[in-house]
Amino acid sequence: MIRISNVQKAFGSVIVLKGIDLTIEKGELVCLIGASGSGKSTLLQCINGLEPIQGGEILVDGISVHDPKTDINKLRCKLGIVFQQYNAFPHLTALENVALAPRVVAKRSRAEARALAQKHLEHVGLGDKGDSLPSQLSGGQQQRLAIARALAMEPSYMLFDEVTSALDPELVGEVLETMRLLKSEGMTMVVVTHDINFARESADRVAFLCQGEVCEIGTAEEVIDHPRKEQTQKFLRREKRTPLEIVKSSVA
């Protein structure tokens, strides 16, 4: 379980998170939605300790992420994260990308790590791409590679930070498909997304973040189809429009 209580975060004088409370249960898929700058991605990076916090506490399986006494590298093995910009290691083949952390961090033998990597590449549908360099893969394939790389540490939780936002529209489907597969296998997932349809179909709960606070939280049906707060309604009206409509309205 991930328990986020009263988390405050600022970049210099800019306050990004103003006391977030959120609990993610085992096996749950929680989507974080909200406008750009609402603090969704920052919150995600706080959960695995990539970003320090100024107040509050985040507990992962009862272990405090930002406690200086916590072995953060050990804790991060439980928390896989996938970023918007794939961040594949460009100098390593797909197989080496996935095998690196099991070998270096989990201290598995080279052969074990490679076998494990192959298993996870197959899991995300890249079983035949092991020898390819990231530059030879499409964006969708690189993003699935990033998922396989995170899964190879056998995490209990997966964090997704707008993983489809940088992809060409025709490549989004294969990545979402992989995420649905993980969900069906019972993975606990926290997904920051602008994809309202994905949130509606796949999320157990949806949290709408607005100006550094959890403005509304509930099932997908509650938050997306019947939002109670005005900010949520306003946000969803904008998000549901197609890009063309937004262009038209700004021209008019």
Partner 1 sequence: MIGMNGYQFYWSIVWDSLPLLLAGAWVTIQITILAFIVGTLIAMPMAVARQQGEGWAYRFSTWWVELSRNTPAVFQLYLFYFGLGAFHINIPSYAAVLISVSFNNAGYMTEIFRGGLNAIPRQQLSASRSLGMTSPQSFIHVIFPQMFKVIFLAYVTQGIWGMLNTSLGMLVGLQELSGATQYAQSASFRTFEFFLVTALIYYVIAKGLQFSSQLAFRLIYRS
Q: Which parts of this chain interact with partner 1 (CB under 8 A)?
A: 45, 48, 50, 73-74, 76-77, 79-81, 83, 85, 87, 89-91, 100-101, 104-106, 146, 149-150, 153
Cβ closest to partner 1, residue 137 vs residue 150: 150
Structure tokens at 165: 């936002």
Cβ closest to partner 1, residue 76 vs residue 183: 76
Shortest spacing between CB 75 and partner 1, in angstroms: 8
133 DSSP assignment: -
Shortest spacing between CB 150 and partner 1, in angstroms: 7
| Beta carbons within 8 Å of 229's beta carbon, 6+ residues apart | 208, 215, 216
Shortest spacing between CB 168 and partner 1, in angstroms: 20
3 state DSSP class of 50? coil
Cβ closest to partner 1, residue 22 vs residue 44: 44
CB 147 within 8 A of CB 178: yes
Count other C-beta atoms under 10 Å from residue 8's C-beta: 16
CB 164 within 8 A of CB 175: yes
Cβ closest to partner 1, residue 82 vs residue 214: 82
Shortest spacing between CB 82 and partner 1, in angstroms: 9
